Amino acid sequence: MTQWSGYLGLILQGALVTIELTLMGSVLALIMAFLAGIGRVSRFFVIRALATTYIEFFRGTSIFVQLFWAYFVLPFAGLSLTPLQAGVLALGLNVGAYAAEVVRGAILSIGREQYEACTALNLGRWQGMRHVILPQALLVMLPTFGNNAIELLKATSVVSLISLADLTFQAQVVRSQTGSTLMPFVSVLVIYFGLALIISWGIRSLERRMARGLDGVRV
């Protein structure tokens, strides 16, 4: 029993690394999503082209390849990253590319009358976007953002390939030391599911709060 409690401690240590990866990767993904998503609806061709290139590149290439590039190839260019940094960079850029299209679609879903109202109120393009369009669009984005966050959580398992001691890596360590497959991978399954439920609950709570405050934003 004491032996298994020690192995469970290893798995919980891996869970902390997975949570850290998920939180930091989500922050980077959110930043990239808004930059590229708003860039996609820019009036300037260069900005639209840069945003589109980023989105298509990171959606069109494998997360495995992106992770290996971040960890194994970038050092040849003089940029050495720790496994955690490489994992956050690859996950954030990859998921951010998908989320950017969510941002773009949500902005375009706002009715034309809202844009006309911004013009009537003499709001500049950025003022209208910031105070009127984005608050309404954010409510449309939230459910899919929740899906993106859960996908990022599950994708953190790829960092075990660069020897970062996340949940999956620690489960493999326990399996190799005990010869048991059931206990470590059932534990990991339950932990991933629990974390996903927490993300879903958080997104739904935020969505309800934003919906209550949205009436004061529409013009």
22's tokens? 């998920």
Quick one: pLDDT at residue 116?
A: 66
Quick one: pLDDT at residue 135?
A: 79
The backbone torsions φ and ψ at residue 119, rounded to the nearest 5 degrees and listed phi first, read -65, -40
Domains of the chain (ranges plus CATH)? Answer: 2-211 (1.10.3720.10)
Please give the Cα distance from 175 to 181 (Å, whole number).
5
Contacts of 118 (CB under 8 A, 6+ apart): 127, 128, 132, 133, 219
Quick one: pLDDT at residue 1?
A: 47
Measured from the Cβ of residue 196, the count of other Cβ atoms closer than 10 Å reads: 16
Quick one: pLDDT at residue 33?
A: 95
Quick one: pLDDT at residue 218?
A: 53
Q: At what angle do helices 2-40 and 45-60 cross, to 10 degrees?
A: 150
pLDDT average per 10 residues of sequence, the chain (219 residues): 69 93 96 94 92 95 94 93 95 96 88 70 69 79 92 94 89 87 89 95 87 59
- Which among 165, 110, 151 is positioned nearest to 133, based on CA atoms? 110
Please give the Cα distance from 102 to 29 (Å, whole number).
12
